[in-house]
A and B are shown apart, each in its own frame.
Chain A
């Protein structure tokens, strides 16, 4: 089974930087995903990490340390529209195994961006 932990809520100021942490314990690891979900809407894909290191995509970056079972999502130059829930999700299985399994999600971190 899997255990995925992330903070329940965070608050940040428009224009600032925020880091959302995620720790996981899994019986296997085959990738970590971050999704954004606005209230009442579908989750949308933000980033994917399978090897250690930082992946950057515009204002969003995601970091992974497999040895520590740790990831973070970094949001820069925060905008009001970034207020949403951010879901950390892990896929079990052997590394880079194309016989992939479904994602297991954390409970999500609700981010509130204030003016």
Chain B
């Protein structure tokens, strides 16, 4: 079974430029998460989707970040414009809603460097 797939794996951009990340969750997983992980820190939630609905985006910096999950499967996370402080690993995860002990499965992440 394929895991959570993210692309690109690495991205280097100049500040003020836009950038987008893509995530394909595990088939059948209706819950999708975007996390940001800074060096030496744990992942921090940016947004959570249940199917195509964003049910928790309270920590998403909406002035520059946006996300979508059309058709409740793949998702994209966009930053426009990027700032130096956005340099981090962006992790996508998915899980099955309704199973209380089910864990979230993480993708390999996209390492973003803003210069």
Docked pose: A101 CA to B49 CA in angstroms = 10
Min CB distance A18 to B, Å, is: 19
Docked pose: A41 CA to B108 CA in angstroms = 6
Docked pose: A103 CA to B59 CA in angstroms = 13
Say yes or no: A96 contacts B100, CB within 8 Å: yes
| Residues from 44 to 91 in A contacting B, C-beta threshold 8 Å | 44-45, 48, 50, 87, 89
Docked pose: A4 CA to B42 CA in angstroms = 10
Say yes or no: A87 contacts B42, CB within 8 Å: yes
B interface: dominant SS: loop
B105 — which chain A residues lie within 8 A by C-beta? 45
Min CB distance A87 to B, Å, is: 5
Say yes or no: B56 contacts A101, CB within 8 Å: yes
Say yes or no: A108 contacts B56, CB within 8 Å: no
Docked pose: A43 CA to B94 CA in angstroms = 12
Q: Does B45 contact A (CB under 8 A)?
A: yes
Given A50-B100, A98-B97, A98-B100, are A107 and B45 neighbors across the interface (CB < 8 Å)?
no
Docked pose: A42 CA to B104 CA in angstroms = 11
B109 — which chain A residues lie within 8 A by C-beta? 42
Partner of B43, one of A30, A98, A105: A105
| Residues from 101 to 115 in B contacting A, C-beta threshold 8 Å | 101, 103-109
Say yes or no: A103 contacts B40, CB within 8 Å: no
Given A42-B91, A42-B109, are A100 and B42 neighbors across the interface (CB < 8 Å)?
no
Docked pose: A33 CA to B107 CA in angstroms = 17
B98 — which chain A residues lie within 8 A by C-beta? 98
Say yes or no: B56 contacts A102, CB within 8 Å: yes
Min CB distance B59 to A, Å, is: 9
- Can you pick out 7 interface pairs between chain A and chain B where the beta carbons lie within 8 Å of each other? A44-B106, A50-B101, A89-B42, A98-B98, A102-B48, A105-B42, A106-B42
Please list the residues of chain A having a beta carbon within 8 angstroms of any beta carbon in chain B: 4, 30-31, 33, 41-45, 48, 50, 87, 89, 96-98, 100-108
